[in-house]
Structure 1
Amino acid sequence: MSENDSAFDFDDAYGKLQRGADTKIVAARRFAHRKAQKELAKDTDKIVDLAFLAFDIPVTGDRAMTWLEAIVNEKDPRFSLDRDRNEARIIATILLAERIQNGYQATPALVMTASLGGRRQTPDQEAIVMAARSLLARLGRHRGLRFDARLARPAWRDVGKALAAAKAGDPTSMNAAIDAIANEAKDAEKRLVETFNNALRELTEENCRLAEEVDLLWWRMSRWSYLLDRPLSEIDERALPFVAGTDVATLITVLPGPHGALGVIRNILGATADEPQTLKSTFETITASDRASLLKDVKPDVQPIASLNAGLRLYDDDSIAASLPAVFAKRTGVSIDTELTRFQIAVQAFYERMLIKSGWI
């Protein structure tokens, strides 16, 4: 969770995006918001659904968001995802905004990915993108500084009543007291083991983080692509952003990854990091053999929120070569001629691959 202890103010967030809304509608949306947040805690696919909706990314028929519509319909039966599209996008945006305020670490990476370097907009004019970027930076600064895996002695539950009853000396009371003490001992042991396992997990994650940061430094020094098995200097400059971002993501196991990874990527790109290039030129300079290596662990039907990986995957299908730009635009909602800086492309590739590896998209 976040260090921000202030409670999320739904009414304020909704009021900024729907000024003058009727109080009954505000109450209905507040109810839906709270119920939807509970659903998000159970299913990451639904969080991804919200990103599709908030950023207006095209959705295929097998990704119908009926769950959200059903929740809103409980207090507003006339609401429709199709008919009330802008309202639906506002609902999704506010749900994501609260998750970011509450410090859920994967959500900002998802938001950054959906944004595609600012080429996709949300109803709040990128407020959640700025919040996501701020949280990622804060996580990077604080990671490791407050690590504490000390074990606390588990508190025993009160068995005083059972012990007091046992003083009567009758067998039933004495047996009940013995059972109460034995059961509590077992429960205390269980709580202690759980506490120990949690501490061990945190320690393991911390060790992995440190090892990954060392790996990043060696990667920067060696300038060698693990995925393509050759020096980065031999990779076409226009393909380098995608390769660098994806290569770095392969070294990291936990979302959202160390914030310093972006600095390492920028260093690799050098003086040309802020120069623009189109998505099309990025895709077309990656050879078929390199494409196979880069997409080895990416599903053929990778979701369009991962626009770079989805776009590159389209080049595997010779049957759509003539219409590929149109297919890309239809699936992702952006033009293949969209320009991003080389650094933006690398960051996009990094977060896309992190989310793919983690099973989010």
Structure 2
Amino acid sequence: MPAFNFVAEYRDMQPAAERDIIAARDKAFTKAKADANKLIGRIVDLAYFAYRVPLPAESDANKWFGDILSADDPAFSIQHDVEEAARIATLVLRERLGNSFWGTPVLVHAAAFAGKRQTADNHALSRASRDALRDLVRKRGFALKRTEVSPGKAAPVGDLITKYDSEGDETTEKQVLQAIVQDYDSQIKHLTKSSNEAIEAVFAENRRLAEEVDLLWWHLGGHSYLLDMPLEQVPDALKPIVIGMDVGDMVNALPGPYGSYGIIRKALGSKADVPMKLSEAFKVLTPEHGLLVAKKPNRYALAPIHGAASDVLLSGEPVSGLQFKRNTGLSFDIKLTAYELAVQAYHERVLSKLDWI
């Protein structure tokens, strides 16, 4: 795959941009990319900007990203140049997708909210995320690099012993013993490191297989893991959310097993493609379903389903359409198919469980 060309991608979005602005944006892109590589929170911040999602009141993202974009362009304003911030954030995320970072495609899917939110590149980020997720889940199962235990390379201690045996050589017995000990220590460290890498590869593959087996048995059982009740007893309007959260709670590593999406569709059955309003699900949410959520998500706007569920089940508050719109930028009566709703709940659950949002 060719290296990501920021200048070319940016000029496709802004063909009339002057060269000094392009240079300034290129520097900002490089800095934002480096910061995102260091902190998961910065990757999440970029999703907010890319999809123009309302930031939490306590977030420092405006200052962080604004400082980067204004460093070489003093006229830039994070409050006024919203579209420009969205373009740069979108391109940083696109570059990450091209570099096969495990968590980024799931985050982008959650932020896009089944395509109801749009980026400055007319959904190109979401399409790239779909491709990246498809490739990564396959790679996780079928293209894992085989790791072998390596004995390492022995140090030339024998040459030192030969020198020690030679008449007139100044090599001491202490030096020979030190060299032997150092070589032994180096060999042990190398063997330990090599063994741990091989064990980790086997562990990761076993975990993936265990997740898929658990999902299969969950589907065959038709029993909600979180609510501890048969799925047939869950109200139809709430079933997509319960299924998505159940499946997400059984996943322990991004991007999740290959079979998750098929299991979700199978569990929904003939109603998978039936459209429904998001608000309909929350009308039937009652304290009986309290085990669905254990905490309020830190990033409500990127986890709207979990955020609304935590309002009802943890705070005991009805979901206000006006408040939901303010928190997420989405209408509470937005329509999704049952499958889209379940997949959204699934992505949110995995990201929340692994402390991304």
Structure 2 length-normalised TM: 0.91
- What residue in structure 1 maps to residue 267 of structure 2? 268
Cα deviation code 1:218-256 (max 9, x no counterpart): 111111101111111111111000000000111111111
Asked whether the 8 Å contact 1:266–1:273 carries over to 2, the reply is: yes
Q: 1:162 and 1:71, CA in 2 relative to 1: closer, same or farther beyond 3 A?
A: farther
Does 2:42 align with 1:40?
A: no
Q: 1:14 and 1:165, CA in 2 relative to 1: closer, same or farther beyond 3 A?
A: farther
- What residue in structure 1 maps to residue 109 of structure 2? 112
- What residue in structure 1 maps to residue 169 of structure 2? 169
- What residue in structure 1 maps to residue 126 of structure 2? 129
From 47, 50, 53, the counterpart of 2:49: 53
From 333, 349, 353, the counterpart of 1:353: 349
Q: Distance in 2 between matches of 1:285 and 1:244?
A: 15
Aligned with 1:118: secondary structure? coil
From 111, 136, 140, the counterpart of 1:143: 140
- What residue in structure 2 maps to residue 94 of structure 1? 91
Per-residue deviation, 1:25: 1.7
Q: 1:58 and 1:138, CA in 2 relative to 1: closer, same or farther beyond 3 A?
A: same
- What residue in structure 2 maps to residue 299 of structure 1? 296
Asked whether the 8 Å contact 1:136–1:259 carries over to 2, the reply is: no
Structure 1 length-normalised TM: 0.90
Per-residue deviation, 1:177: 6.7
Indicate the larger mover: 72-81 or 267-276: 72-81
Indicate the larger mover: 349-358 or 83-92: 83-92
- What residue in structure 2 maps to residue 198 of structure 1? 197
Cα deviation code 1:170-205 (max 9, x no counterpart): 257x76676456435423432331221122112111
Cα deviation code 1:73-130 (max 9, x no counterpart): 3322332211211111111100100110000111000000000011111101111111
Asked whether the 8 Å contact 1:15–1:21 carries over to 2, the reply is: yes
Q: Distance in 1 between matches of 2:46 and 2:123?
A: 15
Asked whether the 8 Å contact 1:93–1:123 carries over to 2, the reply is: yes
- What residue in structure 2 maps to residue 254 of structure 1? 253
Q: 1:122 and 1:161, CA in 2 relative to 1: closer, same or farther beyond 3 A?
A: farther
Q: Distance in 2 between matches of 1:356 and 1:269?
A: 23
Per-residue deviation, 1:10: 1.0
Per-residue deviation, 1:336: 0.1
Per-residue deviation, 1:18: 1.4
Amino acid at match of 2:272: A
Q: 1:289 and 1:319, CA in 2 relative to 1: closer, same or farther beyond 3 A?
A: closer
Q: 1:317 and 1:194, CA in 2 relative to 1: closer, same or farther beyond 3 A?
A: closer
Q: Distance in 1 between matches of 2:280 and 2:105?
A: 28
Q: 1:182 and 1:107, CA in 2 relative to 1: closer, same or farther beyond 3 A?
A: same
Asked whether the 8 Å contact 1:58–1:330 carries over to 2, the reply is: yes
Per-residue deviation, 1:307: 0.8
Indicate the larger mover: 274-283 or 178-187: 178-187
Mind listing any 5+ residue stretches in structure 2 that lack a counterpart? none
Percent of pairs with identical residues? 36
Indicate the larger mover: 241-250 or 31-40: 31-40
Q: 1:69 and 1:154, CA in 2 relative to 1: closer, same or farther beyond 3 A?
A: farther
Q: 1:205 and 1:23, CA in 2 relative to 1: closer, same or farther beyond 3 A?
A: same
Q: 1:269 and 1:185, CA in 2 relative to 1: closer, same or farther beyond 3 A?
A: same
Asked whether the 8 Å contact 1:238–1:285 carries over to 2, the reply is: yes
Per-residue deviation, 1:272: 1.4
Aligned with 2:302: secondary structure? coil
Cα deviation code 1:252-303 (max 9, x no counterpart): 111111131111110111111111111100111222220x11012x236552
Asked whether the 8 Å contact 1:302–1:309 carries over to 2, the reply is: no
Per-residue deviation, 1:317: 7.6
- What residue in structure 2 maps to residue 214 of structure 1? 213
Q: Distance in 1 between matches of 2:196 and 2:135?
A: 27
Does 2:323 align with 1:324?
A: no
Does 2:6 align with 1:7?
A: no
Asked whether the 8 Å contact 2:293–2:313 carries over to 1, the reply is: no
Amino acid at match of 1:359: D
Asked whether the 8 Å contact 2:297–2:352 carries over to 1, the reply is: no
Q: 1:145 and 1:68, CA in 2 relative to 1: closer, same or farther beyond 3 A?
A: same
Q: 1:63 and 1:153, CA in 2 relative to 1: closer, same or farther beyond 3 A?
A: same
- What residue in structure 2 maps to residue 187 of structure 1? 186
